[in-house]
Chains A and B, each alone.
Chain A
Amino acid sequence: MTADKKALLARIEGLDHIPTIPAVLSPLLRYLERPLEQLDVQRLTDMIAQDKSLAAQCLQMANSPLFGRWQKVDSLRSAVMGLGIQRVSDIAMSCGVLNITPRDGAGIDPVVFWEHSLGCALVCRQFARTISYPDPSKAYLAGLLHDLGIIVNLWTLPQEFRVAYEFARAEGIPLHEAEQAKLGFTHCDSGRLLADHWELSPDLRDVVSLHHTAPESRDNAGLVALVELSDLLCRMSGLNHGYTENRQISLLEQPSFEVLSQQCPELKDFDWARLTFELDSYMEEVQSLVRAIYRS
């Protein structure tokens, strides 16, 4: 690690601004580590209802077609009954992450990062289901949290991060490359600090810190690779970081493709075109939902 990188990371660690995990999310995350059959509807609704604003956001989101609900739900309990425990947990986590995104991103619209995270979560889940990945819910959570480091950067080093972001945007390059060039570290590094601080599970820590270098994950390479590929798809589409990367990619040539293929043989014959087209349909919904929640 270079001296600069060490110094900057130390600065992040020392700052009071590092986001604390929202009060509801910590027990919720821990609760969700249990097997699905051990989860209880009343306990889950009680946990979410502790935070009134979170509960209201959850209801708003539960009424979106993105979460499969077509009839209006007007209480957390009916949301859980209609959508199931897993969906409502996903929604609660999604709203929780929104609430730690700063409202002012030093001239950057922080909403785009949340749109990207939610979009990536949805793509991860759909992708996981299609290739029979064993845990689509974990894939959703991993997609949602993968860019936590960006939130850290927005909170702790807004001016420096803005320079990196503007550089990425102007050059049409991936954000992590611009961060490396301008900050000496990437959101994977700062994300790792937050993931440790929040005591996320080991697989989520790997996702947060290795989602641009999936093969480096020793124990969770499959999940990290799934997120890396979904993230790439989102960044090449309209669910990007607020700008389009100026490049051509072949998903089949990504090292993460090889990693995930070993775990999911169905990937060898996967219809990437269809997933890309499906992603287009999330885009409008994600954008309108995020903007509605964020501005409410």
Chain B
Amino acid sequence: MTAAAAHSVVAAEGPPDPELIRIRDLIYQVAGIFHPDNKLRLLLDRCSRRMKELQALTLGEYFECLTTKPMRQTELIALLNEITIGETCFFRNQTQLDALRRIVLPKIIETKAKLPFRRLRMWSAGCSSGEEPYTLSLLMREESRRLKDWKIEILATDLNQRSLEEARTALYGSYSTRNLNPYFRQKYFTAAADGQLQLQPAVRDSVHFSRLNLSDDARMIFMKGLDIIFCCNVLIYFDLASKRRVIQHFYNNLLPHGYLFLGHSESLYGVNDDFRLVHLPRATAYVKGERTQAGKQAS
């Protein structure tokens, strides 16, 4: 099927192209991100953009570009970039955040309530331009009654220095703030030039940004004592061995009751057996299960 024909098939509501299913399965196997049937159209659109760029005429030919040609690694990253483009925004995954507020937070509060020093430590690993950690900060502010006398620490790291600088300015355009409801918009933002929104300094200062390469073992071991880690659409770029190492660090960095949240439709299947998938209302997360022998040796 040609890129142009691919569009026409989608418009005609045709059955999924078997080559597209192969690409879907390849992405799931390599990157851990799954496109269910209702998202295949989106995947096809992303592939079509890359096919146009490469002048690949059919999905079969494009599959070859992703698997056998020398440029396969570069092309896979290019496709993953297309897939995750424009994903970052405030309140990106509302059902995940609802689950955090309704289920996860009360559980952690209950677990730590008897400790003399109450601290909630969260980490946004791969925070890009800051929308995710700032969203967490806004949510925690709204939970101030439940979290009275708690010290809240929100750490945010990224490999890209430029993204971090952007994050520190805390100035956002309409695309990043598209999911912000009027309540949050009015309470925590002020209007800035060119229709942008400036986040209040108090919220901005509540997040600690720093540059971190998740593959840097020497630094990863210092990210200790965490209650919650968010790592959304970051691991998809890692090869299996690196992914396993990062996940093992996450496992070690989390407290026993800790939670790991991944991106929407992102999975650890085949990557790690120590974490256990749990279902929350309309969301999933990973918690620390009983450690396997292999996991012990790797850590």
Using a CB–CB cutoff of 8 Å, the interface residues on chain A facing chain B are 65, 68, 70, 172, 232-233, 236-238, 244-252, 271-274, 276-281, 284-285
- In the bound complex, do residue B103 and residue A274 qualify as a contact, i.e. CB atoms below 8 Å apart? no
B216 sits at the interface (CB 8 A)? no
The reply to whether B278 and A250 contact each other, CB–CB distance below 8 Å, is yes
Q: A273-B34, A274-B269, A281-B39 are in contact. List 11 more A-B contacts (CB 8 A).
A: A68-B15, A246-B102, A247-B103, A248-B278, A248-B280, A250-B279, A250-B287, A271-B269, A274-B267, A277-B267, A281-B36
In angstroms, Cα B57 to Cα A202, docked, is 55
Given contacts A70-B13, A281-B39, A284-B38, contact A249 B279 (CB under 8 A): yes
Complex contacts, B278 vs chain A, CB 8 Å: 248-250
B residues contacting A by CB (< 8 A) are 13-15, 28, 34, 36-39, 102-104, 107, 265, 267-270, 276-282, 284, 287
Task: Establish whether residues A236 and B34, one from each chain, have CB atoms under 8 Å apart when the complex forms.
Answer: no
Chain B neighbourhood of A271, CB < 8 A: 267, 269-270
Tell which of B15, B37, B103, B287 touches A281, judged by Cβ atoms closer than 8 Å.
Answer: B37
What's the minimum C-beta distance from B266 to chain A, rounded to whole angstroms? 8
**Residues of chain A lying within 8 A (CB to CB) of residue B37:** 65, 278, 281
In the complex, A65→B268 CA distance in Å? 29
B263 CB, min distance to chain A CBs, angstroms: 11
Residues of B within 8 A of A236 (CB): 279-282
Residue from B36, B102, B104 within 8 A of A278 (CB atoms): B36
A159 to chain B, nearest CB (A): 28
Complex contact A251–B282 (CB within 8 A): no
CB pair A276–B279 under 8 Å, yes or no, is yes
CB closest chain-A residue, reference B106: A246
On whether the beta carbons of B267 and A273 are closer than 8 Å, the reply is yes
Which listed residue (A172, A272, A278) contacts B277, Cβ 8 A?
A272
CB nearest neighbor in A for B37: A281
- 5 tightest A-B contacts by CB? A281-B36, A273-B267, A244-B281, A281-B38, A236-B279
Q: A250-B276, A273-B277, A274-B28 are in contact. Are A238 and B282 (CB under 8 A)?
A: yes
Contact A277 B36 (CB under 8 A): yes
Residues of B with C-beta under 8 A to A245: 281
CB of B148 to closest CB in A, whole Å: 23
- Residues A285 and B38 in contact in the complex (CB < 8 Å), given A252-B276, A274-B267, A274-B269: yes
Taking the nearest CB of chain A, how far is it from the CB of B50, in angstroms?
22
- Which residues of the partner chain A approach B15 to less than 8 Å between Cβ atoms? 68, 70
Kindly list chain B residues whose C-beta atoms are within 8 Å of the C-beta of A272.
277
Whole-angstrom distance from the CB of B5 to the nearest CB of chain A? 16
In the assembly, what is the distance between CA of A244 and CA of B283, in Å? Answer: 11
Expressed in whole angstroms, the Cα–Cα distance for A261 and B169 within the complex equals 53
Assembled-state Cα–Cα distance A172/B101 (Å): 14
Contact A70 B14 (CB under 8 A): yes
Q: Which residues of A contact B38 (CB under 8 A)?
A: 280-281, 284-285
Q: How far is the CA of A191 from the CA of B37 in the complex (A)?
A: 33
Q: What B residues does A277 contact at CB under 8 A? A: 34, 36, 265, 267
Chain B residues contacting A278 (CB-CB under 8 Å) are 34, 36-37
For residue B268, which residues in chain A have a CB less than 8 angstroms away from its CB? Answer: 273
Offer 13 A-B interface pairs, CB within 8 angstroms, sorted by A: A236-B280, A247-B281, A248-B280, A249-B278, A250-B277, A251-B277, A252-B276, A271-B267, A272-B277, A273-B277, A274-B34, A277-B36, A280-B36
- How far, in angstroms, from A130 to B42 measured CA to CA in the complex? 25
Q: Across the interface, do B107 and A248 meet the contact criterion of CB distance under 8 Å?
A: yes
Distance in angstroms from B176 CB to nearest chain A CB is 25
Docked CA distance A281–B40 (Å)? 10
Interface contact B36-A273, CB-CB below 8 Å: no
B34 to A, closest residue via Cβ: A277
Tell me, rounded to whole Å, the shortest Cβ–Cβ distance linking B269 to chain A. 5
Q: Smallest distance from the beta carbon of B245 to chain A beta carbons, Å?
A: 20
Nearest CB in chain A to that of B270: its residue: A271
Bound-complex Cα distance A244 to B269 (A): 25
B-side contacts of A274, CB under 8 Å: 28, 34, 267, 269
Q: Are A246 and B28 in contact (CB under 8 A)?
A: no
Could you tell me the distance in whole angstroms from the C-beta of A86 to the nearest C-beta in chain B? Answer: 19
Q: Known contacts being A70-B15, A273-B267, A273-B277, is A244 close to B36, with CB within 8 Å?
A: no
Contacts of B14 in A (CB 8 A): 70
Query: Which residue of A has the minimal Cβ distance to B268?
Result: A273
| Residue in chain B with minimal CB distance to A249 | B279
Which one of A233, A249, A251, A276 has the highest number of Cβ atoms from chain B below 10 Å of its Cβ?
Answer: A276
| A253 to B: closest C-beta gap in Å | 9
Residue among B15, B102, B281 facing the most chain A CB atoms (10 A cut-off): B281
Cβ-closest chain B residue relative to A232: B279
Nearest CB to that of B33 among chain A residues? A277
A251 contacts across to B, CB distance below 8 A: 277, 279
Chain A residues whose C-beta falls within 8 Å of the C-beta of B107 in the assembled complex: 248
In the complex formed, the residue of A with least CB distance to B285 is A248
* B28 cross-chain contacts in A, Cβ below 8 A: 274
Which residues on the A side are within 8 Å of B280 (C-beta)?
Answer: 236, 248
Contact of B103 among A248, A250, A280 (CB under 8 A): A248
